[in-house]
C-alpha cells in the first residue's frame, strides 16, 4: 500500500514516479538561432546585438548576455556598423528594410518554418487574397508575419472573433497560423473560419510546426496519468504556455517553471506521478535541474514516454557557416 511521508505521496518502494514526455525541450529552430548568436560572437567578437530575445527563455538569454550578446527591443538601440541578429520568431519587412538602410551587419535567426509562413503570406496577398492569420496579438511572430502584407491581413485569435467578421463566401480568402498554437484550439478556430467562409483556401501544409505538434502530442500521452504537470519554460514562451493550458484541459494541475528551484514543496503534496515536459525554447539542462530538485523531495523513478524521435536540423545562414558548409560558389549570405 502506498504511504504518505512528510506530506508527500510515495509508492511502496518510497518513490514518486516522474513521466518524462518526449519530445520535449529545444526544437531545430531554437538550436539554430542560439548557434547563430554563438558563432557571431566567435567570429565578430562581442558585442553582438540581438533584436528581441533570440528565443523566449530567460536562461538562454542570460547565458548569451553573459557571453557578450546585447538584447535590444528595436534597431534604433543598435549602433551603426554593428552586427545584429534577428530572433527566431522573425521580423517584418519594415524591420529588414530599416536594417539595410542603416547598413547594419544582419544575421537572420528566423526559423525556416516561420520564414515559410512569411512566404505564404506574401504569395497569398500577391494573388489578391485577404489573408486571415490565426495567432496571438502582440506576439513577435505575429507582428512579423502580419508585416508581410499589412493591408491584406486580418488577425483572429478565437472562434468568437471569427464570428464577429463580416460573413462572406470566402472567395479570395485564405488563412495561415502562428507556428506555436495549440493544435486542438486552432482546429476549432479553423472550423469556424470554414463555416463562415466556405470557399476559404487552406495553406499548402500545416503552419503549426512539427515541434509544437510533437510536444503537445507527447504531453497528451502522459497527462491523464499525471497528478501534477510541470512545464519547463519562461512565461513569455507561447508554446510553453500552450502546454500548461493543455495539461489543465486534460484535468491535471500544472505549473510553468523556469528552473527546479521554482518548484514549491506544497505542489507535491499527495502527488504520486509528476508529468514533466519542456517548451521548445527551454534547454535540456533545465529538465535535468528539475529532476535534481524533485529528487531533493524524496526518491523518484523516471520513466520516459517518447512518442516519436525528431531528427530535423536546419542549416545555418552562410554568414556564420564554417568553410565546409559554405556553398560551392562561395557566395556570402
- Would you name the residues annotated as active-site residues? 141
238 and 285 in contact (C-beta within 8 Å)? Answer: no
By CB under 6 A, residue 186 contacts ligand 10G: no
Cβ nearer to ligand SF4, comparing 145 with 179: 179
CA distances, 4 to each of 9, 61, 222, 293, 323 (Å): 5, 40, 23, 19, 60
Q: At what angle do helices 210-223 and 238-249 cross, to 10 degrees?
A: 30
Indicate whether 218 belongs to the interface with ligand SF4 (CB under 6 A).
Answer: no
Distance (Å) of CA 111 to CA 74, 186, 331: 19, 21, 21
Q: What number of H helices and E strands is found in the chain?
A: 10, 14
* 30 lies in the binding site for ligand SF4 (CB under 6 A): yes
> Which of the choices ligand SF4, ligand 10G, none does residue 85 contact, using the CB cut-off of 5 to 8 A by kind?
none
Rg of the chain taking only CA atoms, in angstroms: 22
| Closest CB to ligand 10G among residues 113, 319 | 113
Number of residues that bind ligand 10G (CB under 6 A): 18
Listed ranges 149-157, 233-241, 261-269, 297-305: which one lies at the site for ligand 10G (CB under 6 A): 233-241
Nearest to 147 by CA among 181, 116, 122: 122
Of the residues 20, 69, 88, 106, which one makes contact with ligand SF4 according to CB under 6 A = 88
Rule CB under 6 A: say whether 87 interacts with ligand SF4: no
Residue at shortest CB range from ligand SF4: 29
Angle between helices 28-44 and 112-126 (to 10 degrees): 110
Question: For ligand 10G, which residue of 120, 186, 281, 300 counts as binding (CB under 6 A)?
Answer: 281
Looking at beta carbons only, is 115 or 302 nearer to ligand 10G? Answer: 115
Question: Can you tell me the distance from the alpha carbon of 290 to that of 164, in angstroms, rounded to the nearest whole number?
Answer: 44
Q: Which does 152 bind (CB under 5 to 8 A by kind): ligand SF4, ligand 10G, none?
A: none
Q: What 8-state DSSP symbol labels residue 311?
A: -
Q: Residue 96: CB partners within 8 Å, gap ≥ 6? A: 86, 106
Helix, strand, coil abundance in the chain, percent, nearest 5: 40, 20, 40
Q: Which does 190 bind (CB under 5 to 8 A by kind): ligand 10G, ligand SF4, none?
A: none
21 forms part of the interface with ligand 10G (CB under 6 A):
no
Q: Does 276 contact ligand SF4 by CB under 6 A?
A: no
Lay out the site mask for ligand 10G across 59-98 (x = CB under 6 A, - = otherwise): -----------------------------xx---------
Residue 28 binding target from ligand 10G, ligand SF4, none, CB below 5 to 8 Å by type: ligand SF4
C-alpha–C-alpha distance, residues 19 and 188, integer Å: 29
State the Cα–Cα distance between residues 299 and 161, nearest whole angstrom.
48
Shortest Cβ 169–ligand SF4 spacing (Å)? 32
The contact set with ligand SF4 (CB under 6 A) reads 27-30, 88, 111, 113-114, 179-180, 209, 211-212, 239, 280
Amino acid at each position: 500500500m502506498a504511504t504518505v511521508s512528510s506530506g508527500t505521496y510515495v509508492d511502496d518502494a518510497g518513490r514518486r514516479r516522474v513521466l518524462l514526455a518526449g519530445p520535449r525541450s529545444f526544437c531545430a529552430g531554437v538550436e539554430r538561432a542560439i548557434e547563430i548568436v554563438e558563432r557571431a560572437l566567435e567570429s565578430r567578437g562581442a558585442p553582438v546585438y540581438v533584436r528581441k530575445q533570440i528565443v523566449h527563455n530567460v536562461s538562454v538569454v542570460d547565458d548569451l548576455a553573459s557571453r557578450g550578446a546585447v538584447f535590444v527591443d528595436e534597431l534604433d538601440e543598435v549602433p551603426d556598423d554593428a552586427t545584429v541578429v534577428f530572433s527566431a520568431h522573425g521580423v517584418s519587412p519594415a524591420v529588414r528594410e530599416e536594417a539595410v538602410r542603416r547598413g547594419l551587419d544582419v544575421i537572420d535567426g528566423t526559423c525556416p518554418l516561420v520564414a515559410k509562413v512569411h512566404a505564404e503570406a506574401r504569395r497569398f496577398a500577391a494573388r489578391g487574397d485577404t489573408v486571415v492569420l490565426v495567432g496571438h496579438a502582440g506576439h513577435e511572430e505575429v507582428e512579423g508575419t502580419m508585416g508581410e502584407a499589412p493591408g491584406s491581413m486580418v488577425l483572429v485569435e478565437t472562434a468568437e472573433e471569427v464570428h464577429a467578421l463580416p460573413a462572406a463566401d470566402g472567395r479570395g480568402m485564405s488563412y495561415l497560423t502562428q507556428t506555436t498554437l495549440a493544435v486542438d484550439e486552432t482546429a476549432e478556430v479553423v472550423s469556424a473560419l470554414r463555416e463562415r467562409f466556405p470557399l476559404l483556401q487552406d495553406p499548402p501544409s500545416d503552419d503549426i510546426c512539427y515541434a509544437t505538434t510533437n510536444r503537445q502530442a507527447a504531453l497528451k500521452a502522459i497527462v491523464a496519468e499525471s497528478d501534477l504537470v510541470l512545464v519547463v519554460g519562461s512565461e513569455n514562451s507561447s508554446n510553453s504556455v500552450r502546454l500548461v493550458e493543455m495539461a489543465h484541459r486534460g484535468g491535471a494541475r500544472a505549473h510553468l517553471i523556469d528552473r527546479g528551484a521554482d518548484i514549491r514543496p506544497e505542489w507535491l503534496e499527495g502527488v504520486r506521478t509528476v508529468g514533466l515536459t519542456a517548451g521548445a525554447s527551454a534547454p535540456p539542462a533545465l529538465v535535468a535541474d528539475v529532476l535534481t530538485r524533485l529528487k531533493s523531495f524524496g526518491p523518484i523513478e523516471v520513466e520516459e514516454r517518447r512518442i516519436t524521435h525528431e531528427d530535423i536540423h536546419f542549416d545555418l545562414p552562410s554568414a556564420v557557416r564554417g568553410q565546409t558548409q559554405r556553398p560551392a560558389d562561395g557566395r556570402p549570405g
